[in-house]
Amino acid sequence: MSDEQSWIPPRVDVTVPSVARCYDFALGGKDNFDVDRAAVAAANAVAPEASELAKVNRSWHIRATRFLAEHAGITQYLDLGAGLPTAENTHEVVRRINGSAHVVYVDNDPAAAAHGRVLLDDHHLTRYVEGDLTEPDEILDHPVVLGHLDFTRPIALYQSATMHHQPDDLDLPGIMRRYVDALPAGSYVVLSHFWDPGGEAGAPVRRIRESMLAHGLDADHFRSREQIERLFPGLELVPSGPNSADGLVPLLDWWPDGPLLTEPGPVQRCIIGAVGVKR
């Protein structure tokens, strides 16, 4: 085995691109392979901003986490589909504000889970488990989740750029309803999703999906706003800015840290999200 592959568990096929490793590469990470880099490069070839979607999502994920830790006072976090550990993980953002917060990461990619346990489980407040986010009972009943999080107190549950990797034949609103039902009042859901605005505006993202399919990665479902809205069952959405009552917006518009110095391209606005609270 080469040094590049030394961190990958034996049951992982490194000849097929992985969502977690593609994200890792797009974010500037090193835990990826030629097949992952080729898939990202192909998406960028048909839509030059494609890899920027990962960076836009990560920046929003950090802003939302700061809000939850500093303003909402959340001390427990369940980060589903967390992927490979990278810069500015949820627990790192949270613990700059609250050093005693508990965080559980979940991913069904065995390489991500194995790598996460090596890097993160040495801290008694952080755990990383392997699990399928489309099986909420499996996650909610997992002994590590139950042992590390107190479901009588508010929890922040993340579906940060995860649900657009799930196929249309799954009952995604039903999956989210099961998670929301399990959360106590005062909990939050953080969810972002690739968005197809339709018409000519959505043509670049449809080309991205075609490119990923051609590389063996059935990963990117750019859905309509109406489909994405149904993933927040019974939740009250946090306003996306001081002068906005709309909670579900392009991530670039959700409480930005400051003015944009360059005008983003249309693809960068094709990922939308919201933070919802359970009353």
Q: Please give the Cα distance from 71 to 233 (Å, whole number).
A: 23
Specify whether the CB–CB gap between 251 and 175 falls below 8 A: no
Taking 90 as the threshold, does the pLDDT of residue 21 lie above it?
A: no
> What is the model's pTM?
0.91
pLDDT tens for residues 159-192?
Answer: 999 999 999 999 999 999 999 999 999 999 999 9
What token pair was written down for 68? 């939850």
Lowest mean pLDDT of 57-66, 215-224, 230-239, name the range: 215-224
Q: What is the pLDDT, as a whole number, of residue 125?
A: 93
Cα-based angle 236, 241, 247 (whole degrees, multiple of 5): 30
Give the model's pLDDT for residue 82: 94
The angle formed by the CA atoms of residues 246, 163 and 149, to the nearest 5 degrees, is 90
Which residue shows structure tokens 């940060």? 160
Task: Name all domains of the chain by residue range, CATH numbers in brackets.
Answer: 52-198+220-277 (3.40.50.150)
CB count within 10 Å of CB 108 equals: 17
Rg (CA), the chain: 18
Instruction: Give the model's pLDDT for residue 39.
Output: 83
Beta strands 76-80 and 126-130, pairing class: unpaired
Residue range 197-221: mean pLDDT, rounded: 84
